[in-house]
Amino acid sequence: MPDVGAGRFGWWWGPSALRLSEHFRPALRAHFGRLSAADLYLRFGHSQAEILDAYVEGIDFQKSMVLGVFDDDLELIGAAHLSQDQAGFELGLSVLLHGRRKGVGAALLRRAMQQARLAKAGSIRVHCLSENHDLMRLVRRVGARVVAHGSESDGTIALPPSAPLGGWVEMVEEQMAVASFTAKAELLMARRMIQQLSGAVGGQ
């Protein structure tokens, strides 16, 4: 997938990041359960299952933005959580190993950045950013820059100004993501029905 810096409308193709609701909480927990210990550390600063369970259960899907990218089997292969507190916006992003180098991270980061820009934010905090070399490369690909915090592990993504049609782009991206998820769900259902019919015929 082309990086955003290569063209304003690079989001027209590539993976679609869907805004997740309460319904997807189990899928989110399953996603974190498939991350390696190293990836969990980069995402959370730890890999303790009980803390992850509490984190997932504590997500307020109304007050924060949770994004997901699904594969053709509706497995959540990429997830991002953009939350806001008095200090500003904080972003957590993770992609399963088999979903990398496919534009998943770029789709999640681009949309999270767009949401923060629409809220007039100038930056996003990221945990363990200085140690997450893949994410730092991704940040530069989408036209933003990393602000170093001295020797601290955490870092900040400085956001470029919002595009003139940012609100319209956000609305269209969500519609495209919903359409993509619906199409994948229908195709998956059709594949399963065909498999069941094939098994029934073969068993006769």
Give the residue extent of every domain in the chain.
4-202
The 10s digit of each residue's pLDDT in 71-118 is: 999 999 999 999 998 888 999 999 999 999 899 999 999 899 888 988
The full DSSP string for 121-152 is: -SEEEETTGGG-HHHHHHHHHTT-EEE--TT-
* CATH class for the domain made up of 4-202: alpha beta
**For residue 84, what is the enclosing H or E element?**
strand 76-85
Please report, rounded to a whole number, the percentage of residues in the chain having pLDDT higher than 90: 41
Question: pTM (2 decimals)?
Answer: 0.83
Query: Which residue has better confidence, 98 or 137?
Result: 98
Cα atoms found within 13 Å of the Cα of residue 144, Cβ hemisphere only? 29
Report which of residues 67 and 52 the model is more confident about.
Answer: 67
